[in-house]
Structure 1
Amino acid sequence: MKQDQPGPATTPRTRAKARHILDNYFIGPARDDEVLEIWGNTPEMSYAPGDRVALHVSTTADEWEFEIGRDGLEYVPLLTKSGLPGEHHPTPLDCSVKGCGWPEAYALTIPDDWAPGGYLVTFRARKGDDRIEEHHVILIRTAPDAARPPYVLVCATGTWLAYNCWGGSNHYEGITGPDGNAFSPVVSTQRPWTRGFCKLPEGAPRALRQQPTRPGEMVRYPYMEWAYAYGYSKKYASAGWASYERHFARWAEGEGYDFDVIALHDLHHDPDLLKRYACAVFVGHDEYWSAQMRDAVDAYVEGGGNVARFAGNFLWQTRVEDEGHTQVCYKYVADRDPLMGTEQEHLVSGAFEVAPVNRPGALTFGVNALRGVYAGLGNCVGGGAGGYTIYRSDHWAFDGAGLGYGDVLGARSRIFGYEVDGLDYRFEDGLPFPTCSDEAVPEIEILAMGLATNIEADHGIWGETLYIGSADARFKAQVLFGEVTPETLDACKRGNGMIISWPRGKGEIFTAATCEWVAGLIRQDVQVEQITRNVLNRFAKSKGRSR
């Protein structure tokens, strides 16, 4: 994992003083004037040249400084300010749900010559010999009146929010939420990103181990062990600019592709935004979408737009509320969603395939998460190949990649996992076809496949604790079959991940349904790189739209 600058600049003494901020999971404010800290955020996730950006900062230092730089193929610092007066502001206990409420500390206007991309905002502070820095990221797109590049990278900000544990809660675990919930169905955008989402030091492990677990060896999760040791969120490997979109952006820039960068939330507020581009690209872990976001993509493809989706785990419908400051997802307890039983219950925040949402993921990207999910994580296909088995090697996407029927793509670079999407399928004469029982359409071509599971294998090793277990399979069994029995659990145990190609409407979709496709770009897997080029080159021109 390439990183141009070092990680958080802290002394051992500062780290020791700040350990109580990290309670085995959550990172957030110390709420203690004696602890050196600095945190900051911006009201929006993305901006364009000419937009005003407000920095909301809280620090226990008397003075602070910041640096903003474009985090592209090379990190380029563009703006620095120092000697800014520091203020330590109260942070509500429920800041992860309702926001921090800090006042504006500094504001700037995005210059006209700042190129599209991800921009790191580095906040720095010191007390005596101690110093610390934390990071934020903003996305900058092309100015509205400027010529548009052919590609747009849509960052998975819905998933970033779902995994952001800064301040106490996210859509997985937390200190707030309804009675009995271990997660909050409501999270705020008005808080910092947790440590590791914006910037990572070189060598930070990815979610998948680079080598499968050996027989008899206790299962390990190196990325979580690393996170605990160095004071990062254990969710850094699951979401965020630093683990996913950054690597695609750097690779694409190095290959000479001209692209814009936006937030997924931009599609919620501006559904016509995609129509300005020939190809929309999605990468990494892209799990949480509002209905409006899906509507925007569906209309875009039907009208002639192309989608290159190198991403996995398309699962949950969300709602964006409070003028974009709040994301709602009740997930496993969707029956508690206030919209249940109303005229708007199709907007209930639950799984796409489940009533009352009833909008299978295959209708948008050709695959769905409930036919996935886990591969290469812990004992979930822990000894698997780590790549896709090729079935339709003569497809245009594989041109020049040196692949034949039965070959495995991406095993050395470990691209298959940690969550994948698939379909119900059947085999005929050695080739897979969609059964269409999950509302996939016959026009979808299954190009490659790998195996996944919803139940983590228990090998009976003494002292071993399973991370995934069977909770996801139990949820799937309940919602698909109405009950959890040995038979329904068995039916929900097996999953798959797929590469599919789908001419849809006037547009076209290519989906490599895995979170870890970018690992092939990071590790310079020549076959993964060639396929990525083939897709981008084909999709550079729109088919049925006027630009």
Structure 2
Amino acid sequence: MTKPNRSRISRRELLKSVSMTPAIGALTSTAMADDRDDVIARAGSSLIREENAKPGSRDWQLTRVRLDSRDGVRASKIEGYCSRQSVAAGESIDIMVSTDPAQAYVIEIFRTGYYGGRGARLMTKLGPFDGSVQPVPEAGDKRIRECQWTPSVTLTIPDDWPSGVYLGRLSTLTDSTGFGYWQNYVVFIVRDDRPADILLQCSDNTWQAYNQWPDRDSVYTHPKGNQGPWADVSFDRPYGMYPQIFENPQTIGSGEWLCFEYPLAYWLEKHGYDVTYCSNSDMLTPDRGLTCKTFISNGHDEYWDIRQYNSVVKLRDEGVSLLFLSGNSVCWVSPFRGSMDGRANRILFRGGPYGGEYKWAELREQQHGPFPHRGPDEGYLMGSRNVDPVNGGGDWVCALPDHWIFEGTGMKQGEAIPGLIGWEYHGDPPRDIPGLQVVGKGTALQGGVNPQAWTSTVYPGPKGNFVFNASTIWWCQDLASPPGHWIPWSHWSRPHGPDDRVQQITHNLLRRAINPVA
């Protein structure tokens, strides 16, 4: 008889395990924290504090950028990509670069963080190199654009480079007019395997799903329509400028990191939290997360391979707290496959909806199917689900002011944090998760007109841990507004930037996750 896969817990098993724990609202508070610089989470390693004591760079952003056309996303004066989503110290990563016209260039590698408010530190400078025009691949099956560029440099990650999100700034030295310094980014994650308080997962599957490089080539731009299972996308291509919400030149080459995720990393490192980083592809097994106390889904985390889902279920069941500081998360099953040359996890597509037999999964199937895959109901993991419409804007409204997440905020019933809901969110929580509490709820307006209810939830895990769902892509917008970051807007609504209530709620969540109440 085959043994059951314990990482794929059934809903019945979840309800049974959760029912044996006290309701999380009854738990007593841990020590309070506020947003002062001298309040630092010192439970874990000092690595992040020591790293951020090093001098940051005054010049790490893109200064001179040029798209090929005003309505395009490509900046072919200089552009590039990396051979892997993530890499560990001691391992090597190839950086592929194309310059048009052929010209010399340099690469500066920066680690993003706090660094006294400067936001990044220069780690090394590579080059100069002689650039060349590398070919744009023809659209393949399912309109995939998979580059096979010659590596420009192979970088071995030094042992003293800590985990984080790294940007390689590409800068030309001359062009045909004699003016130089057209710029672009490449982005990669340095991971590690050390025990840490917080594992921050980057949403790079979603960055790639929306990437339209070179010419409207994403999972949303297939001639058959923008929601079906028709398009493959490859990580073996540059990131074009992000095509939604706003025209932000800092997104050229950097995916969605700087616009939707970086403020959380900046804020965590400012306060000395013991954080380490991973890509979506690093969560295909639960091993990395099981060495940490807290797992965070950040920003716009829409596309998950089913193995990611099973891994995060395993984390929860083993006592890791989960913070979904994100919106539209765990929405589409996005299976990985290898690249043309056999590197694992370099191609994905929209395989099918999460939701199981839930009504919105059925609706997605009817509207956009047939899909070859179907995922379980994400509500039983996140505590709240994707809904239709899933996009809009609104205020984040306190629904349970006596809950411990609000301690030290002074928030009252019905008090609103302006514009924090957007541009995609969660709602309609499962009614049969024991101990689940709705801590925030309200209405978002799609297009400023069409209403949809959203809900933010907390429920207890089986081992003193918990699961929090912020129900918005924009949560980190109210934590910090670091250099290189623009506050986004959509659906005639926008967050307002750093808010001490959001900061305090996040401190409360992290302190409880790092030091669970018995």
Which interval holds the TM-score relative to the shorter structure? 0.7 to 0.9
Corresponding residue of 1:42: 82
Specify which of 403, 408, 428 is matched with residue 423 of structure 1. 428
Equivalence for 1:521: 479
Q: 1:139 to 1:365 in 2, by over 3 A?
A: same
Cα separation, 2, equivalents of 1:123 and 1:68: 9
The 1:179–1:375 alpha-carbon spacing in structure 2 relative to 1, beyond 3 Å, is: closer
Answering whether residue 64 of structure 2 is matched by residue 10 of structure 1, we say yes
Pick the aligned partner of 2:182 from 129, 132, 140: 132
Aligned to 2:461: 504
Structure 1 partner of 2:380: 363
What is the Cα deviation at residue 494 of structure 1?
4.7
Give 1:344's aligned residue. none
AA aligned opposite 1:134? N
- Does residue 396 of structure 1 match 2:411? no
Q: CA deviation at 1:373?
A: 1.7
> Aligned partners of 2:275, 2:251: CA distance in 1, in Å?
30
**Residue 338 of structure 1 aligns with which residue?**
none
> TM-score normalised to the size of structure 2?
0.73
The 8 Å contact of residues 146 and 234 in structure 2, kept in 1 or not, is answered as yes
Residue identity in the other structure for 1:305: V
1:92 and 2:137 aligned: yes
Deviation at 1:93, TM superposition (A): 2.9
Q: Report if the CA contact (8 A) 2:333-2:351 is conserved.
A: no
Q: Shift of the alpha carbon at 1:371?
A: 5.5
Indicate conservation of the 8 Å contact 2:328/2:424, yes or no: yes
In the TM superposition, what are the counterparts of 1:272-283 in structure 2 within 5 Å? 272-283=287-298
Partner of 2:49: none
Deviation at 1:308, TM superposition (A): 1.3
Matched, 1:71 2:106: no
Contact 1:122 1:133 in 2 (8 A): yes
TM-superposed CA distance for 1:67, in Å, is 0.5
Alpha-carbon distance in structure 2 between the residues aligned to 1:112 and 1:6: 23
* In 1, Cα distance between equivalents of 2:273 and 2:368: 35
Contact 1:169 1:187 in 2 (8 A): no
Conserved? CA contact 2:321–2:466, under 8 Å: yes
Q: Which runs of 5+ in 1 are unaligned?
A: 30-36, 198-206, 208-222, 333-347, 377-385, 425-433, 459-492
CA contact (8 A) 1:375 1:451 kept: no
Aligned mates of 1:134, 1:365 — CA distance in 2: 36
The C-alpha deviation readout for 1:187-209, integer Å capped at 9, x for no partner, is 00111122359xxxxxxxxx8xx
Contact 1:371/1:496 (CA < 8 Å) preserved in 2? no
What letter matches 2:408 in structure 1? Answer: G
Q: RCO (CA 8 Å, sep 6+): is it higher in 1 or 2?
A: 2
Residue in 2 that maps onto 1:258: 274
Residue by residue over 1:370-427, the C-alpha shift from the partner in whole angstroms, topping out at 9 and shown as x without a partner, is: 2562232xxxxxxxxx42222211111111111122222x21xx31111110116xxx
Q: Indicate conservation of the 8 Å contact 1:19/1:231, yes or no.
A: no
Query: CA offset at residue 366 of structure 1?
Result: 0.9
Structure 1 position 81 matched with structure 2 position 81:
no
Deviations 1:496-522 (A, max 9, x none): 222211113333101111011111112
Distance in 2 of aligned mates of 1:390 and 1:182: 34
Instruction: State the secondary structure of the residue aligned to 1:387.
Output: strand
Give distance in 1, aligned partners of 2:220 and 2:415. Answer: 40
For residues 355 and 172 of structure 1, what CA distance do their matches in structure 2 show? 15
Which residue type is aligned with residue 113 of structure 2?
Answer: G
Q: How many angstroms does 1:241 deviate by?
A: 0.6
The alpha carbon displacement at 1:61 in A equals: 2.9
Q: State the distance in 2 between where 1:75 and 1:120 align.
A: 9
Q: Is the 8 A contact 2:106 2:125 kept in 1?
A: yes
Q: Which runs of 5+ in 2 are unaligned?
A: 1-56, 339-343, 354-364, 481-496
Change (3 A) 1:179 1:396: closer
Q: Does 1:407 align with 2:428?
A: no
Report the AA paired with residue 80 of structure 2.
G
Query: In structure 1, what is the equivalent of residue 29 of structure 2?
Result: none
- Cα separation, partners in 2 of 1:444 and 1:232, compared to 1, 3 Å: closer
Q: Which residue of 2 aligns with 1:443?
A: 435
Equivalent pair of 1:313/1:369 in contact (CA under 8 Å): yes
1:187 aligns to what? 233
Q: Could you say what secondary structure the match of 2:260 adopts?
A: helix
Query: After superposition, what is the alpha-carbon deviation per residue over 1:508-547, rounded to whole angstroms, capped at 9, x for unaligned?
Result: 1011110111111123211000000000011014689xxx
Task: Give the Cα separation in 2 of the matches to 1:262 and 1:169.
Answer: 28
Structure 2: distance between partners of 1:542 and 1:275: 15
Which residue is 2:91 aligned to?
51
2:149 counterpart residue number: 102
Give the drift of 1:162: 1.1
1:292 aligned counterpart, secondary structure: helix
CA distance in 1, matches of 2:324, 2:291: 18
Matched with 1:285 is 300
1:155-304 correspondence runs (5 A) = 155-174=202-221, 177=222, 179=224, 185-195=231-241, 224=246, 226-227=247-248, 240-268=256-284, 270-304=285-319
1:162-187 per-residue CA deviation (whole Å, 9 max, x = no partner) reads: 1111213454543xx46566885210
Residue in structure 2 matching 1:540, options 507, 511, 514: 514
Amino acid at match of 1:137: V
* 1:129-175 Cα distance to aligned partner (Å, 9 max, x none): 24301001111122x3xx4221110011121111111213454543x
In structure 2, the CA distance between the partners of 1:129 and 1:28, relative to structure 1 (3 Å rule), is closer
Distance 1:148 1:249 in 2: 18
Equivalent AA in structure 2 for residue 116 of structure 1: S
Given that residues 293 and 321 in structure 2 are in contact (C-alpha distance below 8 angstroms), is that contact kept between their aligned partners in structure 1? yes
Partner Cα separation in structure 2 for residue 43 and residue 369 of structure 1: 32
Secondary structure at 1:55's aligned position in 2? strand
Partner of 1:141: 191
Give the count of matched residue pairs.
Answer: 416
Match of 1:306 among 321, 333, 350: 321
SS at 2:273's partner residue?
coil
C-alpha RMSD over aligned residues: 3.1
C-alpha distance in 2, partners of 1:129/1:139? 32
Q: Provide the rounded CA distance (Å) in 1 between the counterparts of 2:324 and 2:448.
A: 29
Please give the secondary structure, in 2, of the residue aligned with 1:81: strand
Aligned partners of 2:209 and 2:349 also within 8 Å: no
CA contact (8 A) 1:10 1:132 kept: yes
* Whole-angstrom CA distance in 2 between matches of 1:92 and 1:157: 22
Match of 2:163 in 1: 116
Cα deviations by residue, 1:70-117 (Å, 9 ceiling, x for unpaired)? 111132111102221212121113287241110111111111111221
* Equivalent AA in structure 2 for residue 278 of structure 1: K
Residue identity (%):
25
SS in 2 for 1:278: strand
Alpha-carbon distance, 1:19 to partner = 3.5
- How far residue 25 of structure 1 moved from its aligned partner, in angstroms, is 4.1
Distance 2:335 2:409 in 1: 41
